[in-house]
Each structure stands twice: as C-alpha cells, then as structure tokens.
Amino acid sequence: MMPIFHLAFPITDITQAKTYYVDGLGCIPGRENPHALILNLYGHQLVGHITKEKLIPQKGIYPRHFGLIFTDESAWENLLQRAQKNNLLFREEAKERFVNTQLEHRTFFLEDPFYNLMEYKYYRHHEAIFGGGQHQQIGDTRPE
C-alpha cells in the first residue's frame, strides 16, 4: 500500500472550510472538533487547524502552495469543471505549460477563503513528474 500524504494548514472557520472543501472541492469530511477539521482529498489527509493569527494572501503563487498531480486527464478535467461550477476562486485559470516539450502539463490554481493556494496538474508525459533532469524549467518564470 502506498503512503498517504498529510498536510496541515491554517483556517479561521470550520463551517467556511467545510463549505469550500466539502461542498466546493468534493473532499470527504472526517473527524472535527472546534479546533480542527480532517478532510479526505483523493485519499490524502488534509487537516485545517483553526488559528487566531491574521491570515494574509501571498503576493504570487510562489513559494507556498500545495495540490495534486492527476495521472488521468479526465479526472483533472472533472475537478476543473467542478471548481468552475462551484465558483471557486481561481488564482490562475487553467493553462498549459511547456507545450511541445517533455514537461508539457495542464495546470490551474485555486485559493481557499483562508488564502491557501492549491495547484492541480496533469502531465502529458508521466516521466516528467519526477524526471526530465536535463531540463531546468520548474513553474512559471518569476522575477527575483
């Protein structure tokens, strides 16, 4: 059995988190208490922890974001359509990167109500997920 990824992130409201992640994104809710909520995102464990700290949006999509890489393009498209149908906030609309190269992939970024950024990808060439060491491209070009 493959290991399951776990990610904890800040939220400020359990109800709002459930509305976004369960109703909007399609996560399966797990345990919850007044301080945290466990979510199943495609078999991976997300835990939203209540914080009283002021949450502020990141200026760009880097450096911090999390997400999934789909190995089936139709599953990626289904999530894209679900996000659009549920009017989730797109930090970056769906696009293709590195077209006509070994690194070609489709991607979009969502932003939850707590400014957490999520990227969802589908690579045309599975070996590019971890391979492609002869290439240096990673993400979008960004100013230093």
Q: Quick one: pLDDT at residue 132?
A: 66
Judge whether 102 and 125 are in contact, CB under 8 Å.
Answer: yes
Structure tokens at 42: 């495609």
Query: Each residue's pLDDT tens digit in the chain (144 positions)?
Result: 889 999 999 999 999 999 999 999 999 999 999 999 999 999 999 999 999 999 999 999 999 999 999 999 999 999 999 999 999 999 999 999 999 988 899 999 999 999 999 999 999 999 888 876 666 667 776 544
Beta strands in 64-116 (DSSP E): 66-70, 90-97, 105-111
Q: Quick one: pLDDT at residue 20?
A: 98
3-state SS, residue 131: coil
Q: Quick one: pLDDT at residue 50?
A: 98
Q: Quick one: pLDDT at residue 77?
A: 98
Residue 130 burial (10 A CB sphere; 0-12, 13-18, 19+): exposed
Whole-model pTM: value is 0.91
Q: Quick one: pLDDT at residue 144?
A: 44
SS3 content of the chain, % helix, strand, coil (to 5): 20, 35, 45
